[in-house]
Structure 1
Amino acid sequence: MVFTDDMKTCSQLSGGGGGEIQNQVNVSEQETSIVIRQEMRHLCIRLCLYVLLAKGLMASAEHVTGSLNGRVILPCTYSGTTTTMCWGRGGCPSSKCNYEIIWTDGTKVTWRKSDRYQLLGDIARGNVSLTIFGVTEEDEGTYCCRVEIPGWSNDQKIEHIVKIYEAPSPPEPTDQSVHTIHVPAVSGDVTVVGSVKDILTLPCNYIIHKNQHPMCWRRGGCSASGCYDDIIETDGRRVTWRESDRYQLLGDIIQGNVSLTITGVTREDEGTYCCRVEIYELFYYVKKEIKIQILNSNHSKETLYVF
């Protein structure tokens, strides 16, 4: 009898304890579920933040249009400490630039794919806008300006979409307009007239003989031999030295087009320039002197060649 009562008591205690344990299990599962939901919410927030940061300081793509054989300017500026940056073809990747065309170290250009790509602004002050000269249909597409800012996903990224159109026929010149006169190959002297901040081209061409020929440009008249105080030199195929990025040879050097382009001209650029081509096999030098004249700002800004 006592044994039976004890069994009932154990059974009652066991049954009651089992229910309490079950309740504790249910509470534990609910708490776990809440914790999991909170962790999932935090994970989603972190993923969203990561996606936003991965995009960097991305501005919406801007459209830039230009005409064949002309030039286009793709704006890109930044503020703060000077830093490295690059331009590339295609959209901005997660780091660096795709199909790189130009790099700077924050103060100057350290590499460029072609002289057609120029940074003519004040690089050290954050103006890294890209100018493309002699544009063709192949230049159409997306370009990425990437400024490398220290920190995780802090880079500034700007995309531009370039569209090239065929240039319209030029209007008939009027008495008030200054027009361009075509320049013959390396013979006779020329005066190039422009205004402050213009881009001026000093024509110089030569006929290719057996090989390409080294040449140079200098300030002042042509000397009896060589270039002194030169501003740009080539080996006949490419530019080997230049005093400043303001001096560019944008023509086909290999085909003998060594015309000098000077960007952002100032009154200090006035004067005489010498184009000198060394043709060794003929023991001959092609020498051409060109003068620059800067007009007052109220004159037309087109280029005039005066013979």
Structure 2
Amino acid sequence: MELIFLLLVFSSVSALSSTELICSHQPIVAQIGDDVILPCHLEPPVNADSWTVLWTKPGLDPKYIHVHQDGRLMFEHQNPSYYLRTRLFMDELMTGNVSMKIFGVKVSDAGEYQCVLPSVQKEASIQLVVGESVVIGSSETITVSVGDDAILPCHLEPPYDVTTRTVEWKRGTKHVHTYRSREDHLEDQDQNFKHRTSLFHHEMEKGNISLKLTDVTEEDAGKYTCFVPKLQSQVRQDYVTLNVDRHSKGDQTDGDQGNSVTGAVIGGVIGGVIGGVIGAVIGAVIGGVIGAVIGGVSGGVSGGVIGAVIGGVIGGVIGGVSGAVIGAVIGGVIGGVIGVLLWKKYGQTRACPRRIRRGRESTAGIQKRNSLRLENIEDKKTKRKKLLCEM
């Protein structure tokens, strides 16, 4: 039996030695007059109902804020400034919750607190910040279009839990949205805002009291007030200005489509001109060469066709359908004209049409041709063109 008892004691001590006392690592923020909880607990949970639990504040004399011993508060050891203002959660000590609640917070309550468990030699500290949070709206105008949703930003700084507070939004004398007792109260809401307003409830514990307004109309424009009536602060309200653009989303979409069409036309014209010029040059050169070989009209036509094809392809790549059409037209016209001109300048001497077919030449014609050759033999350079064209 003695061995079993020793094992039980050893296991109990071992379990307690592995238990940690954990308090919030984040400062606890409270306003003057608030009730605040300084959270502390044992992890893993251990029954602390029969333990001595001390809450102290270093630098204070006496330093004891709350002394729990033998299942009750020991008033005789408590600092007078905290008399009847502190308590533990007695029904939760069995689950390791050793948090302390302070009622009616004062400015002098700010500072560091320590939770001490002498029986297991555990202690942890926590910071209490007491200050005046102020309501902050937006210095910048919020601009949205008709039909959009708008968020009117407003928050408390430093962050403060307003879930138990009253929050009011107004525009002039009109009630826009009211929050009270952890829920929305919209019975006094102006008809123009019915079913269109909401708060971010899950963020209110961080001081976010922004308002969301859906399906905005032109009549919604104006100056809004966010107000926390019972806030212990000199700054309990601030303002947000909403500007509503008359152009709705649909109008903007139509405008964008119009801009797209205009851009496509301009792009097509530019692409067509570029493609047409390139096609014309290429078509003209090729048309000129062909014209020099087979004749002016045929060369011009060839140049025009080639210019149209090349101009259309290049214009289409650069400027789309309209570019292809414009490129084909410009390439065809310029290619044809330049093709004829090139033929006249360079191809005429080698491609003169033969007016008399040799098979039908008469003896007189042959004699005349020979005679012309003899007469012009001394001036070959100057008469060459004329002679060959008369052949």
TM bin, normalised by shorter chain, reads 0.3 to 0.5
Point out the structure with the larger strand share.
1
In the superposition, the TM-score normalised over structure 2's length comes to 0.26
Structure with higher Rg: it is 2
Point out the structure with the larger helix share.
2
